């Protein structure tokens, strides 16, 4: 299992368009992937559950990735959250 603690750097957090991009990316992996904010963890492949967390700019989330492609999923998800989405805000 891979676990990552990530601080959201894009201005809109994981709402609407960024959440859709996140779920679209996460859904291509076979691994089970959870995203957690504070004590609440949800299935990262479910857009409504991800939106229910209300993840905003500056929030710290925990990603839990478990499965055969967890290494690739870990790398691609962190790239999206830490590089791609913040760069699109500029």
User: Which one from 2, 6, 11, 15 is the annotated catalytic residue?
Assistant: 15
> CB of 66 within 8 A of CB of 31?
yes
- Which residue has 């996140």 as its token pair? 22
Which of the 8 DSSP states describes residue 56? -
As a whole number of angstroms, the distance between CA 82 and CA 35 comes to 15
As a whole number of angstroms, the distance between CA 83 and CA 4 comes to 15
As a whole number of angstroms, the distance between CA 45 and CA 65 comes to 12
Q: Is residue 68 flagged as an active site residue?
A: no
- Return the active site residues: 15
């Amino acid at each position: 299992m891979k676990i990552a603690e990530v601080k959201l750097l894009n201005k809109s957090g994981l709402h609407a368009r960024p959440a859709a991009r996140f779920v679209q990316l996460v859904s291509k992996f076979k691994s089970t992937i959870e995203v957690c904010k504070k004590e609440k963890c949800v299935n990262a492949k479910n857009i409504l559950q991800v939106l229910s967390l209300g993840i905003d700019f500056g929030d710290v989330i925990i990603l839990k990735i478990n499965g055969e492609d967890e290494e690739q999923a870990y790398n691609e998800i962190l790239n999206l959250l830490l590089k791609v989405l913040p760069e699109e805000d500029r």
